[in-house]
Structure 1
Amino acid sequence: MKKIFYLSVILLSMVLVSCDEDDNVHQYTGNSVVYFDGATTSSLLVPTAGATKEVVLVATNLSDAARSFSVSVDAESTAQEGVDFNLMTNSITIAAGEYSGSLVIEGLYDGADPDGTRLILNLDSENAEVAGFSNSYSLDIFKQCESDLSGSYSVTTTYGYHDFLPDYNPSTIDADITEVDAGVYSVSDFSGGLYSEGPYAGAYGTDAADNTLVFTDFCGNISWEGQTDPWGDIIPLDGGTNSVDSGTGVITLSWYCTGYGENGVSVYTPQ
């Protein structure tokens, strides 16, 4: 029993000594250095209202005087100031008696790229207080596209080819676009009535469901895949426009049916 007691005392003493040593590890007494706090690579999604990112600089020691550190944009940056972003200031100031300071990066929606660009900021390497680590900060800036195409439209289609030309060209019908997922939409007889109220309905027994299109809107660019009519695939018309006009909300679909070559341009005007 005594051996067990002595062993417990020894183990407790080792734990207490170890805690003291751990506490001392966090006490920094060297020269003051500054560096970017936290992760040195981050991202910023910029919605239509814009967005900002705060970048924090920390110092290991306090100072009785304010300290300012210059920040420059690295030549390897693909983001452009005034296009993808604005810097609120080109320096970071750590106030007297403080351990940290920050600058703000403003993301610009109009210039931001949906595929992203990278901003690289460097601390002034000639400043003796700048650490040899975490002295560069990278921000990947992306346009956060918002899509809201659901609703009623007047659809006018000009056909390049179908079996009954020159009749039924152009055609105008009303159509509803329905959102089926975020940025993904469905519309029946998207080609302007050819399959539902046009000549294909009477000649071939088609209806609106035979020409349904499910498409994706990504930052105003329309795309789709895996869509078919009763005779083959429906694909984007080579060289055609498939997009949303951000100012008017008008949607243009340029399409081609691989089975027998029907094709056309359908313009959707919001009602």
Structure 2
Amino acid sequence: MKKLLFGCITAVAALIALVGCEQDKVVYSGPNYLMFSDTLYQYGVQESNEIFNVPVSATVPADYDRTFAVEILDKKSNAVEGKHYKLLSNTVTIKAGEMAANVEVQGNYESIEPTDSLGFALHLIIPESNEWEMYGTETKVVLQKVCPFDINNFTGYCTVTSTFFGGNDIPNQNVDMRLITSDVAEEENTIILHGIYYDGYDTKIKFNTKDPLKPLIEMKEQVCGSTGEAFGTIYGNGNLLLNQPTSYTSYYRTCENYLLQFVTVSVDNKDGSEYGTVGTFINVIEWISEAEAEKLKEQGY
């Protein structure tokens, strides 16, 4: 019994020692370096023209305020300060005892076009002794216009162009574009596309609005047609299944009211096992006005 008790005490002591080792923190004891926290930032400029931050970091704290100048590198920028954005200050201050601060920037929503590719470079002016060669003293900021999301902008008439159309893999699908309609679904941020490939089949697509810079779309597996319509005969259970592969990025654009979606079309057997894959295709769906839709109808769409 004594041997067992001694063994338990020894084991507990070893565990305590091990935990103590794991809790020891590695303390940085190197030089005092200053830098932008990253070399590239991307910011969505929205209607509210909210302020966004470009972080600056130090490797060690100081017992006094540290103020440094920040300059715009015009030769490395195509965004114009005062037009597309403005720096709220040409200096940044890391306060005593702290190791980070922000360069504050405000975008100009009205001056940026949806298709613009704009950016500007910043240079942190610091003593040479504080420069870390590995990270440098510059960063690049990319600006992207982000229009407000309104699901109603993705309803009504829309055109579907797809690599599914007109290819040799789908002998009975010889159109180059389809004119369809869409409605708001009961589910949040979800629409119903009517007849994306064939009449009589509805397709639900959900908009992921969590991150304005990642306007992604999501779709569950659903039937989009029949093998009889596509190939003139029945394969498997006769249904064409539409899936959105996770290996590709499918997204929407609020400023231009369109979405780009990668889809995989497949067929299952009657027992639910996979019969085969038709292929992976790209859909581009663009919402248009009623007047534009009427013109397309006159052209036979």
Using structure 1 for the length normalisation, give the TM-score.
Answer: 0.50
Q: Which has the larger radius of gyration?
A: 1
Using structure 2 for the length normalisation, give the TM-score.
Answer: 0.46
